[in-house]
């Protein structure tokens, strides 16, 4: 099961509340926030780190203060919790991932499973032609699928869905775009059969042997304004056949104002599952 906690920066404007969130940050996080020239960007940094720290604290039963968390990065730069060696929570490690736009910040949580999450605004437009972008980043089969959509707005939305799915996957791998280029795997979005992933011939090149198909996905509309994709590792898929439909991902979503209010929005109009 995957848990997602999200907040909307535009709804959080109380300065004393923002100051309280800033106090949760480490010195290096504050320094990074202070390096942001635009006030809105600084606010987003503070809120994203506060959301992460308060969310992680929940899953320790609040035994670990949000201020106390320390993080490390893997060689590709993906952050992970640096658990104390004597802490019982290390036996069931929490995996997390953060994604944000200017209007929404989301934190995905999974236990004993690597996770990636990506959110994109549904109304996001691109300055370039959709198919031109797809040919640059996507696989031929994905480009062909998009080319079959004649309506330009529907094509744009399908492109965004695919982008969030692929982004969630490379973030779950923990390798980023450079370590797992979008051209090395294809994602097939079939509402009736779920979301499938397969390696392309590019994945046979040296350096890409880490790619696997043992992953589960979920795609949803969030807050009526965003597409959200979540990807988690599933070792049981290694025994599944190529025609076996992926199991559905259990998903719970909360909208939060840290320390103030939490609202479970799964099963409401705020979370509409697509696949």
Give the span between the Cα atoms of 130 and 135, in whole angstroms.
9
Integer distance in angstroms from the first to the last C-alpha of the chain? 15
H or E stretch at 153: helix 152-173
Q: At what angle do helices 15-22 and 39-58 cross, to 10 degrees?
A: 60
C-beta separation of 247 from 234 below 8 A: yes
Q: Which domains does the chain have, with CATH numbers?
A: 2-273 (3.90.470.20)
> Phi first, then psi: what are they for 256, rounded to 5°?
-130, 150
State yes or no: pLDDT of 206 exceeds 70: no
Q: What was the pLDDT predicted at 77?
A: 82
Q: 165 vs 53, 157, 168, 197, 253, CA distance in Å? A: 25, 13, 5, 10, 18
pTM, rounded to two decimals: 0.90
Q: Residue 71: which of 56, 86, 83, 57 has the closest Cα?
A: 83
Q: What was the pLDDT predicted at 207?
A: 57
Q: pLDDT higher for 48 or 190?
A: 48
Beta strand 105-111 with 115-121 is: unpaired
């Amino acid at each position: 099961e995957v848990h997602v906690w999200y907040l909307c920066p535009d709804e959080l404007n109380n300065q004393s509340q923002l100051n309280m969130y800033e106090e949760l940050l480490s010195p290096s996080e504050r320094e990074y926030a202070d390096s942001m020239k635009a006030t809105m960007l600084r606010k987003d940094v503070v809120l994203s780190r506060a959301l992460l720290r308060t969310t992680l604290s929940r899953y320790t039963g609040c035994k670990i203060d949000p201020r106390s968390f320390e993080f490390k990065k893997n060689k590709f730069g993906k952050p992970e919790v640096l658990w104390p060696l004597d802490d019982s929570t290390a036996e069931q490690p929490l995996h997390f991932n953060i994604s944000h736009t200017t209007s929404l910040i989301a934190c995905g949580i999974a236990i004993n499973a690597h996770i990636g999450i990506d959110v994109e605004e549904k109304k996001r437009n691109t300055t370039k032609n959709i198919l031109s972008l797809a040919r640059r980043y996507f696989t031929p089969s994905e480009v062909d699928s998009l080319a079959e959509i004649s309506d330009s707005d529907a094509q744009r939305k399908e492109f965004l869905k695919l982008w969030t799915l692929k982004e969630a996957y490379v973030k779950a791998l923990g390798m980023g775009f450079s370590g797992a280029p979008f051209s090395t795997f294809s994602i097939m979005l079939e509402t009736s059969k779920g979301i499938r992933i397969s390696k392309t011939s590019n994945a046979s090149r040296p350096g890409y042997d880490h790619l696997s198909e043992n992953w589960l996905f979920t795609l949803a509309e969030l807050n009526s304004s965003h597409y959200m994709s979540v990807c988690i590792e599933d070792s049981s898929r290694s025994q599944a056949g190529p025609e076996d439909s992926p199991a559905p991902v259990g998903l719970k979503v909360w909208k939060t104002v840290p320390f103030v209010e939490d609202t479970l929005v799964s099963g409401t109009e705020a979370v509409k599952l697509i696949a």
